[in-house]
Amino acid sequence: MRFELDDDQRDFAAALESLLSGAGAVAAARAWAEGDHDPGLKLWSRLAELGVLSLATDATPVEVAIAFEALGRHAVPGPWVESAAYLPIALGREIEGVATVAVPPHVPYALDADVADEVYVGSTLIEEVGERIGSVDRTRHLFRVAGVGEPSRPAFDLAVLATAAQLLGAGERVLTDSVTYVKQRKQFGREIGSYQAIKHALADVRIALDFARPLVFGAALGAVDVSAAKVAAGDAAYLASRTGLQVHGAIGYTQEFDLSLWLTKIRALVTAWGTPDFHRARILQQLGAD
């Protein structure tokens, strides 16, 4: 499948990249992980002004995918999938402020409910939030919620698409940073990126991401099942994270090194909004129906 963005979409992508490149997203993510939401909320307001929260209702899924790829590439914290993808479709309106949602059984906890203005279960607004649950991604603060809400299949599918696009962006960032690193790191008097084994490992990541991209945007166009996009993007991003960790060596394990933000985010997003097993089962079911 060949897919090219039109001029307006390219301009939107460039505007997002320009904003996020100079907005201190990494610092905001680190602060968010420590419970300081102020930098992340300031970034939230800037992205809202750019129209990210209105994409689900006023634009197309392609623009949603463009936005969430950028959010993933820059590790932007906050319940963006919930506020900008699921809830606008489930509720039939744009979200004002910050909102989050749980959609059992595949989304059992409400992300960042401690900072949200509104918390939902499905499309039902709830008043009380339970205990916090740990996540491998320190920027993802999950909370137990109680209540019954009817899930929306169109809203769920857009949230899955947004998550797949985030994974694609995060995988691309890990690959870019890994390529930069192997050109700088030297062993035995030469850059480690000159070794064939490392070249081949990074090339495998490039191929995986290049195969995932048309599935993500094909799903945005309605030509590909969104579950296929989620599985492909998750597999490609996870390969990027494993390879990135291998080529960085011991420094890749450290929390102080920025790579850790994407490694843990990818691990969390792979199972967010439906596990790989769930989405593979949906693909199999669809193939059987066809």
Domain ranges of the chain: 153-289
Q: What is the pLDDT of residue 187?
A: 67
Q: What is the pLDDT of residue 196?
A: 77
Q: How many CB atoms lie within 10 A of CB 222?
A: 11
> In angstroms, what is the C-alpha Rg of the chain?
19
Q: Is 18 exposed, middle or buried (0-12, 13-18, 19+ CB in 10 A)?
A: exposed
Half-sphere exposure of 275 (CA within 13 A, CB side): 7
Say whether pTM exceeds 0.85. yes
Q: How many CB atoms lie within 10 A of CB 175?
A: 22
Please tell me the distance from the alpha carbon of residue 273 to that of residue 67, in angstroms, as a whole number. 18
Query: Which uninterrupted H or E stretch holds 18?
Result: helix 7-21
Residue with tokens 């320190």: 138
Q: What is the pLDDT of residue 290?
A: 59
Nearest Cα residue to 235 out of 210, 212, 207, 264: 212
Which positions of the chain have pLDDT values less than 50? none
Q: Report CA-CA distances (Å) from 151 to 28, 135, 226.
A: 31, 23, 17
| Chain centre to alpha carbon of residue 113 | 18
With H, G, I as helix, E, B as strand and everything else as coil, classify residue 107.
strand
Q: What is the pLDDT of residue 195?
A: 65
Bridge partners, 266 (sequence order) = none
Fold (topology level) of 153-289: Butyryl-CoA Dehydrogenase, subunit A; domain 3 (1.20.140)
Nearest Cα residue to 86 out of 151, 39, 42, 175: 151
Residue with tokens 């390529």: 179
Start-to-end CA distance of the chain, whole Å, equals 20
